[in-house]
């Protein structure tokens, strides 16, 4: 059991190193533009990336959870799209 917990902890730490601390949990109730800004991303560019990936954003004030639910996807996928440009590179920090 200890080995399993150690493996789970190592996986989580690896994920945090790659993506930073994810804004899951209650933060999923915050607007998509707020989450983008919180993560250090340009909100307009993040929403544009979502739209170009067939994610219908009704408003920058739409919550991340509602956006995932209405587009039948996961919050993690939304964050990946917001974070990554269409060529596969990572978001600029501005």
pLDDT mean values, one per 10 residues, the chain (94 residues): 72 58 68 89 93 95 93 88 65 48
Residue count of the chain, please give it.
94
For the chain, the domain total comes to: 1
Task: Quote the CA–CA distance of 80 and 17 in Å, as a whole number.
Answer: 15
| Residue 11 falls inside a structural domain | no
| Residue 81 falls inside a structural domain | yes
pLDDT in the model for residue 70: 94
Is the pTM higher than 0.75? no
| Residue 61 falls inside a structural domain | yes
Give the domain range for residue 77.
24-94
């Amino acid at each position: 059991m200890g080995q399993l917990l150690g493996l789970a902890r190592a996986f989580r730490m690896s994920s945090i190193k790659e993506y930073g601390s994810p804004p899951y949990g209650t933060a999923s109730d915050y607007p998509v533009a707020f989450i983008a800004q919180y993560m250090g991303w340009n909100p307009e560019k993040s929403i544009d990336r979502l739209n170009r990936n067939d994610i219908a954003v009704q408003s920058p004030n739409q919550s991340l959870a509602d956006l995932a639910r209405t587009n039948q996807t996961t919050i993690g996928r939304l964050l990946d799209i917001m974070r990554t440009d269409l060529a596969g590179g990572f978001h600029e920090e501005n």
